[in-house]
Structure 1
């Protein structure tokens, strides 16, 4: 994921954008604006680039868009098989 993300990071994006993308499995335009100290058009452009690269999925939530980090979300929601109990000696 990290290499994939680096390859598509928008020009001018910084570590703050990565923090936003990995603190929770989703973000909003306003979150990127506030945390990265960028304008709405810049935040929208960055999220659009990441959506077009299929790193994020945009979902309409009421009047706004929520951008879901696909890989992060799938890691959090995948079903893990319970480990087999260790064999006992007795």
Structure 2
């Protein structure tokens, strides 16, 4: 018999709360649009999101990585290709 719990997590890191993740992304997006890169700070994002700086740094190593994810999320929302378009029409 094994003492290992089959439902236990494999990593020791914190579980990312989807609500916190979205709040941080939204706060980062707001701060970027209002203050630009120069005025962007992890401290400002933490205040707007109601999250702690350690939480943000646990998920993103630096502000560049957080901004890159904001860009990725926004790009995915901005580029929409209807599913009913044929492949040949997409590249015209």
* Higher relative contact order, chain-length normalized (CA < 8 Å, sep 6+): 1
Structure 1 length-normalised TM: 0.36
State which structure, 1 or 2, has the greater radius of gyration over its C-alpha atoms: 2
More strand per residue: 1 or 2? 1
More helix per residue: 1 or 2? 2
